[in-house]
């Protein structure tokens, strides 16, 4: 399966280890994952982009989401851009797993959203095996839908 990963670029300064752990778990589960837009950039670079560059970035993002089977979001650090990305994916009927650290809480709108394609799970790096199980079960629960 192909998975689109998103997380806050500003949050990367604090949560890079978490982002890398999630990406590595997805790779270990033998899935292709789109993640370079998060790992290879920083928020300062993105703020300097021109309108044309932002438009190109937006189209690349839409295409990667469109070509993905699922989305995995690390949402510990709030981000309007990540929220917008989630909305794009959900509008394309992409099952979306939202992960957040046990020390935080997701926004109430996420908790209250009845969308069946939206799954919200707490995790901790102290239990990487449980995190891997969350990602694996999420992938398996939608694999049947994706392969039809």
At 137, which CATH number?
Answer: 3.40.50.450
User: What number of CA atoms fall less than 13 Å from residue 89's CA on the CB side?
Assistant: 28
Find out whether 39 and 19 touch, Cβ atoms under 8 Å: yes
Q: What is the pLDDT of residue 54?
A: 82
Mean pLDDT across the stretch 104-115?
76
What is the SS3 assignment for 3? strand
Q: DSSP letter at 2?
A: E
Contacts of 141 (CB under 8 A, 6+ apart): 95
Position 92 pLDDT exceeds 50 = yes
| Owning domain of residue 107 | 2-147
Label residue 143 by pLDDT band (50, 70, 90): low
The count of domains in the chain is: 1
């Amino acid at each position: 399966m192909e998975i689109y990963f998103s997380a806050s670029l500003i949050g990367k300064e604090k949560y890079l280890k978490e982002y890398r752990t999630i990406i590595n778990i997805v790779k270990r589960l033998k899935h292709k994952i789109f993640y370079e837009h998060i790992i290879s950039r920083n928020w300062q670079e993105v703020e300097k982009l021109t309108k044309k560059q932002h438009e190109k970035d937006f189209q690349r993002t839409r295409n990667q989401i469109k070509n993905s089977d699922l989305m995995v979001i690390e949402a510990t650090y709030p981000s309007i851009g990540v929220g917008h990305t989630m909305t794009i994916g959900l509008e394309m009927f992409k099952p979306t797993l939202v992960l957040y650290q046990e020390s935080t809480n997701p926004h109430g709108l996420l908790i209250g959203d009845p969308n069946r394609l939206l799954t919200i799970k707490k995790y901790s790096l102290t239990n990487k095996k449980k995190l891997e199980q969350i990602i694996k079960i999420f992938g398996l629960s939608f694999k049947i839908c994706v392969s039809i």
